[in-house]
Structure 1
Amino acid sequence: LDFDGFSSLVDTLSIDSTEHDKRTIFAMLDDDRSGSIDVSEIKNALRSTGILDSERIRTVCIALLGQVGKIEEGVEEGSVEDDLDFNGFSRLVDELQVACSEQDKKIIFAMIDEDCGGTICASEIKSAVRSSGAISKMYDDSLKTFGLLVAATLVFDGGIFLTRGATDAFDFFTAYAVEDSLSVDNLFVFLLLFRYFKVPPQLVDICLNYGITGSILLRGVFIYAGLAAANAFAPLNLFFSGFLIFSSYQLLLGEGDDDEDDEPPEIVLNLLEKLPLTGTFNGENFFATGKDGSLQATQLTATLLTLALSDVLFAVDSIPAVLAINKDPFIVYTSNIAAVIGLRSLYQLLSVAVADLVYLEKAVAVVLGFVGLKLALSVAGVEVSSAFSLGVILVSLTSGVVLSNLVDDDMKEAYSPTPQSGLLSLMKRLTGVERTDEIK
């Protein structure tokens, strides 16, 4: 195709594009400056330009991956056709309530339609999206970033070893490993809340940034409050121990897996109902004028508020776990911050690999149970060494990842993460309220 042929092709495909955009893209594809391009190589050429690496397309693909279970279930039940043309794919995306523009749908459909046949297989959307340029580069970049952050944490831990000794160094990294593992549930909640509130792709980064900043501030408050309470009333450590063991039991038992609700905890929803909300997003604005002329909070504010409240609920689980490792404010807070700083990269990794980590939640449950037992033993005067604690935690988490890689595809497809707040579960047990607000 020369430029005129390429321009006609773009128009025929009903892709909204200005003359300037067409010339820009044609110039990028025309590597040898011959004035013509090979139509059969358009996809590979576009991938190499980085167009598919845009944050917007990545975010839409991640949201689509989060709904793959419903797609596969629909194919099995016959409610979703396995062979989809673009119109069928567009309707499916709308039915799944994935925030996506028509233009983005066309880009993603073309990305999945590798043979350019005009149809895609619904049951293969997961593998096609995951292997696409939009996801694979993000995953690789996130893995590298997370690795660099872990390396930086080890360097910082080396400084602790030199200035404070081996015990504090072991305790720091143990607390860091515990916080990182418990952050998995927080990130599952982030994924599900973004889906629940139908957060537009361009606002996901903003929500992540505010959510992580809020985590840092809230964790600081909870850490110092927990330390003050534990030091003022020693028997409180027994309550912390029992609470951690109970949370471990809840995760291992996996109660509530049959719940169908995709909603935030009821306590959060009740609070949102009392606030004047527009129910819609208004760009990056936190407030907008309602139909009655009053100032109302936008859906962005509701999302951020829910993220903050959910983080509080899950912090009640994680803070006692870190206090069980070491009660030195410096060790506790720095290990916590080191873990929170890596949340963004960890979120991007989990958003892609969430369905593959079948046993990670169980591994986290084992970690919680061990830490709770360690705290109980310390109250009884029996000290468990820092090196042994770190070994148990690392072996548990590594085993969870390794076992997850060994399970078959059917088990991975059937798996759905069920982040649970031990505080909510305990409240419901004590009050006799059914656990109907599980986030799945």
Structure 2
Amino acid sequence: MYTIGTPFLWTIFSLLSIAMIAIEIGLQKKNILVKTPLKCSIFFSLLWLGVVILFTIILWSSINKNIGYDVANIKTLSFFSSYCLEQFLSIDNIIVWFLLFQYFSIPVIYQRKVLIYGLLGAVVFRIIIIFIGNWFLYKYNWILYIFGVIILYTGIKTIFYTHSTVTVLSNNQWISWFYRKFRITNKLEEDNFFLWENKIFFFTPLFLVTILIELSDIIFAIDSVSAILSITIDPFIIITSNLLAIFNLRSIYFLLSYFGKQINIIKYSVGFILIFIGIKILIEHFLYIPEFFYLIVIGVFLSISIVLNIFYVLKKKFFKINKKLS
């Protein structure tokens, strides 16, 4: 299977990722991220974006030098489109994290620990899903149309399926199954995942939330990887764009969590993006849609969702002020 990934590019990607993650973990151990969460979230979101731009430049330069200008443009555009698409589709992950942490009343100081373990698990499972999906697509090209139907269905479901947090989570089969099969404490035990009490082993709600986050990421990864396969089948581009997007996801989560429930508005944009990708896959044999069009579509829907979020928040504050004055 052809790939533009070279030992040099893999090394650069690995070094940048490890350095950034090490910095985040180091700051977390010193509780700096907890003391100034909003500033740190903004800082790391911008820093990760800087890393992505730097890697994009290195990627283009390397391909241009070794293969050629035209290929460098095409592959770099595929990488950046895949990254933007994955980052945008990951909003679903953020919404689920917000709902789980809210439902189980997990304090912010413990949320970061859960998301670090979730990140490590996500890296492993994403790589496995990418290679499995790529292998199936390489062997059976028609399977892309199945991906298209799944993505289209997911997009429609995202827009029209609406339930309250309590209803969704209280009736969740996974949560009920865990409580039936395992001993789980009724309350948190600081940041511990496990507990020995009277010589009996217990799991804590923090461990349960970590497992649920991993399971949700696997489900969302199938959709997002399927979507990216509609842009490129190069494993290097898929893996690097996917992982760089999820590395930045924790910072974006803590940034968007300040909007509270208003982040649910963004899910409608995610739904429309998924519908667009599903239709694109199904009609690709008859109508070619260039990669740069992905960036335009994602940019439009992202801009609309941000404007709606800001408008919603300002409107809510305005009514609160008027209510107090009256």
Q: With structure 2 as the length reference, what TM-score do the two structures score?
A: 0.77
1:373 equivalenced with 2:279 (yes/no): yes
Deviation at 1:323, TM superposition (A): 1.3
Residues of 1 paired with 2:313 and 2:42: CA distance? Answer: 24
Deviation per residue, 1:305-343 (Å, 9 max, x gap): 111112122222222111111111000000001101101
Could you say which residue in structure 2 is the equivalent of 1:184?
Answer: 91
Structure with the larger RCO, 1 or 2 (CA within 8 Å, 6+ apart)? 2
Preserved CA contact (<8 Å) 2:80 2:241:
yes
Residues of 1 paired with 2:103 and 2:50: CA distance? Answer: 35
Deviation at 1:156, TM superposition (A): 0.8
Residues of 2 paired with 1:259 and 1:152: CA distance? Answer: 35
Note closer, same or farther for the CA distance 1:202–1:144 as it changes in structure 2 (3 Å cut).
Answer: closer
* Count of aligned positions: 281
Q: Residue 279 of structure 1: which of 164, 180, 186 is its match?
A: 186
The percent identity for this pair of structures is 26
1:324 equivalenced with 2:230 (yes/no): yes
Q: Residue 142 of structure 1: which of 23, 35, 41 is its match?
A: 41
1:162 equivalenced with 2:67 (yes/no): no
Deviating more after overlay: 269-278 vs 342-351: 269-278
Preserved CA contact (<8 Å) 1:227 1:327:
yes
- Stretches of structure 2 lacking an aligned partner (at least 5 in a row): 1-29, 64-71, 320-326
1:313 equivalenced with 2:212 (yes/no): no
Note closer, same or farther for the CA distance 1:324–1:361 as it changes in structure 2 (3 Å cut).
Answer: same
Q: Residue 205 of structure 2: which of 296, 299, 318 is its match?
A: 299
Deviation at 1:173, TM superposition (A): 0.9
Note closer, same or farther for the CA distance 1:413–1:298 as it changes in structure 2 (3 Å cut).
Answer: farther
1:405 equivalenced with 2:298 (yes/no): no
Residues of 2 paired with 1:303 and 1:178: CA distance? Answer: 26
Could you say which residue in structure 1 is the equivalent of 2:113?
Answer: 206
Secondary structure of the residue aligned to 2:298 is helix
Note closer, same or farther for the CA distance 1:256–1:388 as it changes in structure 2 (3 Å cut).
Answer: closer
Preserved CA contact (<8 Å) 1:196 1:262:
no
Residues of 2 paired with 1:333 and 1:256: CA distance? Answer: 32
Could you say which residue in structure 1 is the equivalent of 2:23?
Answer: none
1:362 equivalenced with 2:248 (yes/no): no
Q: Which amino acid aligns with 1:210?
A: Y
Secondary structure of the residue aligned to 1:263 is helix
Could you say which residue in structure 2 is the equivalent of 1:40?
Answer: none
Preserved CA contact (<8 Å) 1:175 1:336:
yes
Deviation per residue, 1:279-318 (Å, 9 max, x gap): 3433443322244x33232332222111111212222222
Deviating more after overlay: 224-233 vs 353-362: 353-362
Residues of 2 paired with 1:298 and 1:404: CA distance? Answer: 35
Could you say which residue in structure 1 is the equivalent of 2:153?
Answer: 246
Could you say which residue in structure 2 is the equivalent of 1:345?
Answer: 251
Q: Residue 390 of structure 1: which of 291, 295, 298 is its match?
A: 295
Could you say which residue in structure 2 is the equivalent of 1:80?
Answer: none
Secondary structure of the residue aligned to 2:189 is coil
Preserved CA contact (<8 Å) 1:139 1:348:
yes
- Stretches of structure 1 lacking an aligned partner (at least 5 in a row): 1-53, 60-133, 415-440
Deviation per residue, 1:202-221 (Å, 9 max, x gap): 32221121122222222111
Residues of 2 paired with 1:324 and 1:171: CA distance? Answer: 10
Q: Residue 289 of structure 1: which of 196, 202, 211 is its match?
A: 196
Deviation per residue, 1:389-413 (Å, 9 max, x gap): 2222222212221233334745689
Secondary structure of the residue aligned to 2:184 is coil
Deviation at 1:271, TM superposition (A): 3.4
Preserved CA contact (<8 Å) 1:367 1:396:
yes
Secondary structure of the residue aligned to 2:274 is helix
User: Which consecutive aligned stretches of 4+ in structure 1 deviate over 6 angstroms post-superposition?
Assistant: 411-414
Residues of 1 paired with 2:272 and 2:117: CA distance? Answer: 31
Q: Which amino acid aligns with 2:202?
A: Q
Residues of 1 paired with 2:237 and 2:113: CA distance? Answer: 30
Secondary structure of the residue aligned to 2:129 is helix
Deviation at 1:177, TM superposition (A): 0.8
Residues of 2 paired with 1:330 and 1:290: CA distance? Answer: 47
Residues of 2 paired with 1:302 and 1:358: CA distance? Answer: 23
Residues of 2 paired with 1:395 and 1:173: CA distance? Answer: 16
Preserved CA contact (<8 Å) 2:103 2:166:
no
Residues of 2 paired with 1:412 and 1:172: CA distance? Answer: 40
Residues of 2 paired with 1:176 and 1:189: CA distance? Answer: 20
Deviation at 1:138, TM superposition (A): 3.1
Q: With structure 1 as the length reference, what TM-score do the two structures score?
A: 0.58
Deviation at 1:268, TM superposition (A): 1.4
Residues of 2 paired with 1:199 and 1:408: CA distance? Answer: 24
Match runs of 1:30-69 below 5 Å: none
Could you say which residue in structure 2 is the equivalent of 1:30?
Answer: none
CA RMSD of aligned residues (A): 2.7
Q: Which amino acid aligns with 2:62?
A: T
Preserved CA contact (<8 Å) 2:95 2:263:
no
Q: Which amino acid aligns with 1:153?
A: V
Deviating more after overlay: 380-389 vs 258-267: 258-267
